[in-house]
Amino acid sequence: MDGAGGGRRAYIGSYTSAGGRGITTAAVDPDTGALTVLHHTDAVPDPSYLVPGPGGGMLYAVSETEDGRAAALSLADPDRPSPAGAPVSVEGAGPAHLTCAAGQLITANYTSGSVSSLPLRPDGTLGAQPAVLSHSGRGPVRGRQEGPHAHAVVADASWRWLLAVDLGADTVWVYRLDHAAAALRPHGRTPLRPGSGPRHLAFHPRGDRAYVVNELVSTVVCCRWDRASGVLEPAGEAGTLPAGSGAEGGNHPSELVVSADGRWAWAANRGHDSIAVLALEPHGAGMELVTTVPCGGHWPRDLALDPAGRRLYAANERSGDVTWFDIDPDTGVPHRAGSIQAPAATCVVLG
């Protein structure tokens, strides 16, 4: 996403109900990766997660409120996202994540434990009649798993499948993407370890594995993924905290990203306030925690890699900043390079 003055742009979501500025636009320095704030808009309440639209002309946001909504913002001026129509109800509570796939905007609704699909019109604006698919199930952790809590929706590289990660039900649901009808079709489910609380998922660039970060037990699960049959199978697990850290009970991992060459994964540790560096087996399900590094703030809710894979950005919600790191290509270890203030930051999207 290039701005009017040239160069890439980053978009930062935040909780307006906690003092955030809504959606912040920042310029990305092409040489250093440094961010410079350009603009804020609070047109969408609590835009906790953002995703660019196909072709880059739109930016989509959830409004993570009890009467959950999704919003489309035009990037005709990339420095100043502007509403393209009124926010649309997703008919689900607390949407926390979204993605675009098969002509739809799809949201994961945390509070209501459902997935909603909104049609995308040819001009990129949102249709007003969502299809809602409700999850079922619960887990053993009291206060967190009394029912389903969908937390992420991710399409695989074949664009045939959508995986929905459910923290409350300890399950990854698999949906078939019906491109002709612009719809989701239930396909299957993969139960994970009871009480693990799966939160987010990222695919290996080769497309045959998916990594699921668990919020309630501070681990990452490597799953084999068969995109011919749409079957996900747990195969290996590794911790995100160093042995003896003493942080297990108060740590809640959030986001995970995988390097474009498939050698490394990074997971954000909220509570330990660190970024875990995991070395991935070239072939197979093995992972090893190499080290953890300070996240540069408090409560890292989201991570983002730049397109070249040279830098990592952390949205630190409770300290109100976005910190960026230079990644050592030989060790995968991020080294802090700078930060900007971003009150109640929840996500970063890089063009």
Write the CB contacts of 197 (distance below 8 Å, at least 6 apart in sequence): 139, 141, 144, 145, 167, 168, 170, 214, 215, 216, 217
Q: Identify the pLDDT of residue 3.
A: 62
Q: Identify the pLDDT of residue 128.
A: 86
Q: Tens of pLDDT along the chain (351 residues)?
A: 676 555 799 999 999 999 999 999 999 999 999 999 999 999 999 999 999 999 899 999 999 999 999 999 999 999 999 999 999 999 999 999 999 999 999 999 999 999 999 999 999 999 988 999 999 999 999 999 999 999 999 999 999 999 999 999 999 999 999 999 999 999 999 999 999 999 999 999 999 999 999 999 999 999 999 999 999 999 999 999 998 887 878 999 999 999 999 999 999 999 999 999 999 998 889 999 999 999 999 999 999 999 999 999 999 999 999 999 999 999 999 999 999 999 999 999 997
HSE-CB for 95 with a 13 A CA cutoff: 33
* Domain assignment of residue 1, yes or no: no
Q: Identify the pLDDT of residue 244.
A: 84
- Inter-residue contact 349 to 73 (CB < 8 Å): no
* Domain assignment of residue 229, yes or no: yes
Q: Report the phi/psi class of residue 254: left, alpha or beta, with left for phi > 0 and alpha for psi in -120 to 50.
A: alpha
Question: Tokens representing 107?
Answer: 């949201």
Instruction: Look at residue 16 and give its three-state secondary structure.
Output: helix
Name the DSSP letter for residue 17.
G
* Domain assignment of residue 216, yes or no: yes
Residues of the domain holding 38: 9-350
Q: Identify the pLDDT of residue 5.
A: 55
* Domain assignment of residue 4, yes or no: no
* Domain assignment of residue 2, yes or no: no
Domain count for the chain, please give it: 1
Q: Identify the pLDDT of residue 4.
A: 55
Q: Identify the pLDDT of residue 283.
A: 87
What is the side-by-side strand order in the sheet with 183-191?
Answer: 150-155, 161-166, 171-178, 183-191
* Domain assignment of residue 3, yes or no: no
Q: Identify the pLDDT of residue 247.
A: 80
* Domain assignment of residue 33, yes or no: yes
* Domain assignment of residue 308, yes or no: yes
What global pTM score does this model have?
0.96
Q: How far apart are CA 103 and CA 198, in angstroms?
A: 27
Q: Which amino acid is at 169?
A: A
CATH of the domain at 322: 2.130.10.10
